[in-house]
Structure 1
Amino acid sequence: MKQKRRWPLILAITLNGAILIALFWSFHVYVPTASNAPVQAELISGSGPKATPAPAPAPAPKAIQKPSPPRPSAAQQAAAAEAKATARKAEEKAHQEAAARAAEEKAAAAQAAKEKAAALARAEAKQSAMAAKQQAAAEQAKAEHAKAEHAAQQKAARQAAAEKAAEAKAAAAKAAEVKAAAETARAAALKKQMAEQTAKAEEAARAKALQRQLSEAKAKAQAEANLAAARAQQAAENQRLIGLFAQKIRTQVYNAWNTNFSAALSCTVQMELNPQGQIIGQPRIIRSSGNPRFDQAVIAAVQAAAPFAPPIGLSYDLYKEVNLKFNAEELNHG
């Protein structure tokens, strides 16, 4: 493959060499050397007769000069340019192929390096895996050994703890027996003390309850006596107020009386009053005098005397219904 790629480069170098040789040959052709004999020239004039030229002095010999190379023709220049362009294209192609080869070689080298690195990485990974596996196995063995030691230590610790617990249990049982005996004795003493205190407390409670009952009975009797006294006082006051109110009604009725009857006549009148002292309905004779005229005269006087101012401090229930006895002697001399 590499040898096939070299042929264009060799061909391009060969063509460039041939072109350079051709150019060199074109520019360095052979030119004959000029002779030392003088050259005569005649001038022909078209305006006059031909004059005979005067003999010219002999020219001084000229130095021999190296002829300049002739200028190449257009065909030669085109051929040279074409050859040069062909050579340049061949050279560019060779450079491109060389660059392509270099790129392929670089890619191949990179691929090889990559494969080598991958192989090296796989080898290292395999070696690392083996080392890790060996380390894991060693750690597992170490862990199993530590586990066995730990299990043995735990077993020994459990055995020691069991022995210690048995000793502690025996000591606790003995201490519990002693404590139970002490608690029993203390409970018996406490029970006896509590029984004594309970008996004393019950006796004190009974005495206190009796004292409280006596005090309550005394207070109740005093309250009832006070209440009875208050009621009696209130009843007396009510009776006094009722008497004053009855007297006031009689006075107003006496003032409204304007006739005379036999002094022996008397009757009892019942009237119902509202809270303002006005008569509700018609007064009634609940005990007649036997003389209808006298009874009607009393009713007329009561109606004329109304209303009656309610007594201050007296409940309405006590003066709602009033029964008054009127006799002719008091009315006549009212």
Structure 2
Amino acid sequence: MESGITDPVQLLTADGRRIEHPDYAIEVTPEELRGLYRDMVLARRIDAEGVTLQRQGELALWPSLLGQEAAQVGSARALLDTDHVFPSYRDHGVALCRDVDPLKLLAMFRGVSNGGWDPIDHGFHLYTLVIGSQALHATGYAMGVAKDEAETAVIAYFGDGATSQGDVSEAFNFAAVYDAPVVFLCQNNQWAISEPTDKQSRVPIYQRAAGFGFPGVRVDGNDVLACLAVTRAALARARRGEGPTLVEAFTYRMGAHTTSDDPTRYRDAAELAEWAAKDPIARLKTHLLADGLADEDFFEAVDQECEERALRLREQVRSMPGPATEAIFEHIYADGHALVDEERAGFVHYEASFAERGGH
């Protein structure tokens, strides 16, 4: 490694061997390991369906998580039901682990809802397309949790590119000064759209935490067990009132930034092949097989379950009705607002005028 950069925390090597780490011991049952595998396969299959539906014109856009399944599932399974998640727009695996209906994720990218799920019911707040803003939202929420003396932790997900946004630095500072019970989880997939990480930061991202006065740790983002262990420790630290932690999950975005992006224009095939060999799902499958914790019948059953769920999702998306046009005026203010009422009435009158003119 480069001078001053520690090896990322790893509990499962690229070839599927289980190893120990002095600071992050973890015990997982065979059932839990199989559950992590299923979660990752489901996340990948739903994600692939999102890409396909967008290519078929059923969605306006889709941001793929391909390659980041371990970072999302491992960290999400470290959460308690009472914890709260502030995601970015790519965290579909986290959403699934928080029992958000994937149809509601796709509905948002189809343009028929602005979210569609209740953040309180799932402890999972709405996606944001504003890069980095959720870090401030999470910090503010965590400061409120601390004032309420609740045994709750908050986690904010964002990418490496978001660390160049002022909102993230402000969130780091507020969280540090107020000892907010928040974990900042940066999925460093090494490409902020078309900009590599070395054009985003002169130092590894996890080292930025030291400048704000709280710990930072880099974890192998393709190792679901390491992501689980490190995030669990960071969340426990937050609940104890010891303040924030920055976790950098060092991973790789194997797909495009979104379906409007062409990654072949800015990265080479050799880099992609190198990271494909570190595939997080294949890594856990190798471990399960080598240790006799699962057999081919299990893997086939998981594949079949995920395929059937994706096919149902496809039909649900295609048959999804569009919202009433005036629905855009709903949920702007909690108790209504005179100006919104006036704008709604004006819109309804304008829309009715087309019918009066015979629809032309």
Larger radius of gyration: 1
> Greater RCO between the two (CA within 8 Å, min separation 6)?
2
Q: TM-score, normalised by structure 2?
A: 0.12
Q: TM-score, normalised by structure 1?
A: 0.13
Bigger fraction of residues in helix: 1
